[in-house]
A and B are shown apart, each in its own frame.
Chain A
Amino acid sequence: MATTAKENSKPAQDVLLRVEGLTKIYDGTVKAVDDVSLTVTKGEIFALLGGSGCGKSTLLRMLAGFEIPTKGKIFLANQDITNLPPYQRPINMMFQSYALFPHLSVWENVAFGLKRDGMPKDEIAARVEAMLSLAQLNKYAKRKPHQLSGGQQQRVALVRSLAKRPQLLLLDEPLGALDKKLRETTQLELVNIIEEVGVTCVLVTHDQEEAMTMASRIAVMSEGYFLQVGAPDAVYEMPNSRQVADFIGNVNIFDGVIEEDEADHVTVRCAECVHYVGHGVSGHSGMAVGVALRPEKIILSKEKPKGDYNWCAGEVIEIVYFGAHTTYHLKLDSGKVIKAQELNNTRDLSFGLTWGDRAYAQWNDLAMVVLTQ
């Protein structure tokens, strides 16, 4: 909750969306969203990341107005919108299934929201044309949604939700319905369009890569509350708990006890090795902690490293080749299996490690994170 306190101290005019203690309880018992508070500043792309059933979609639906919160308040530009119906909120949403109206053409789909506002006809036409050229869809204006490919449908859905110039854009798994190859290009197009318009976004996703590449800040959600909120690199490199470390990317976690606790370093004794961490942590000696170490920060070698810290030995039990890198599964003497990721930066195929070899894993003293939670 330290993050929330810090954010609340930001100047108020920058804050677009403020959510206070939002709670949604289904059937009197199931807590889908549990006392969530957050602020989103103007121009930000904020991602809600979590597995299925973590409450991220319910939170998004409450922002859109499709669900009424059990408790808590939603403020948009300092206005309480908690009880406004969806059609009165200056918020638009892009749906995961796109939800394009099948009986209307692309042009009419984009114009749909503008017509509801009673905008003059020539203004609607100008706005729709501008929106279509933004997404390079002008020549498809007369098509029906079923006559478009998946990527085109997605762009129609995006510009339809942007057409009314909403103060806040909600994106529900924006790339969820596309196949992997289309995703990368579409993702870039999407971010480009959003940045060109300069709209503030809240996006929901279960895909950590999508969240990290698109968002300026990520909230990792589990069981209805935020585990951690921060910039993508901060969440990745400085997870504040085992759950976050585990959810974002691959991680090896060593269980151990703090031995030395100094201002500039700590040592953690584990069953496999001793970790020398090159910075102080908020703990005390004798405290049980976890040490998280990302696979790409491990260097493998056949020779035994010098020194007493930050290495361990084991047997190679699995080699997974990815092309750009290779992941080695190392079974340590204690029986624990760790993953180490080596970059394939030469075309030399004989790195030298094969199944059954004894290998040494080492890392530097700033590579790991001590998890006290």
Chain B
Amino acid sequence: MTSEFILEVKGLKKYFQAGSSGWFSKNGKQVHAVDDIHLQLKHGEVIALVGESGCGKSTLALTLLGLEEATAGQILFNGQDVTHLADKEKKEMRRKIQMVFQDPYESLNPTQTIQEIVVEPLVVHGIGANETERLERTKKALEDSGLKPAETYLNRFPHQLSGGQRQRVVIASALALEPQLLVADEPVSMLDVSIRAEIINLLAELQKTRGISVIFITHDLGTVGFFADRVAVMYLGRIVEIGGMNDVLKNTKHPYSQALLSVIPVPNPRLRRKRIILQGETPNPVNLPSGCRFHPRCPIAEEKCKQQDPHLFNLNATHQAACLLLENYQ
């Protein structure tokens, strides 16, 4: 049962029916939200998933959590196939994979108190022998998430907390279940810049002390540098470059990753870098471009990019990219 990887994703695809597939029109168009993703995550590893809006990051997260049914491919969790599970097994899996969503203003039920929010998953999964034990766990989860003393928060409602505090409650209610894998879908993008670092530090600290594996989804490459071990860059439903932090950030190979990196603001106004501004819009994921899906916007695209769809290939043991124009592409 035990495997080297906590999570293995093999050729995962998630397509949505495009447009109105009502009674009258059954068009075969599909949105290729997640298209052939391969990914491996070791125990205790943090991977950052980067890409612009609409590239399929969130769909990938939802599919991994079993909230969306995969169209094709396989998800292995601890070596066990969890792609299509019956409800009961799904519940068990959900305890082990928890998530933190983007908007802490939306992801807390406004009619529940903080205590109710954190206790509920414990009750659902039958964790803790009785009320008192569950309350203790709740308090511990809240304090671990930086809400100290927990007593002052228990009977409050979400609207009485700030955005940062709410996100801490979200994290606490995920941690209360003691998951092995945490999927954080842009956990800081709705927060004030001043709070972002705090929340990321909290996640990093919890990850270290508890040894949880984390999939950290973001569109902001600036926040990645903090605590990810590896980075995967996504474009139109596919990973175009993946590798260790330093590989991807310092030795960037794929032209799309290079463009993303070039537009990170640098705190020094005198330091001017050449920015690569991509032309045009992201192509419609319904009608994907032929060949390499990045070629219409790629600054260095050649004729062959229109014909051939590149696959990920090894640049070194840990670094992979999908571009035809890299010299040693095989």
Q: Do A and B associate with each other?
A: no
Spell out B's residues near A (CB within 8 Å). Answer: none
Chain A interfacial positions (CB closer than 8 Å to B): none
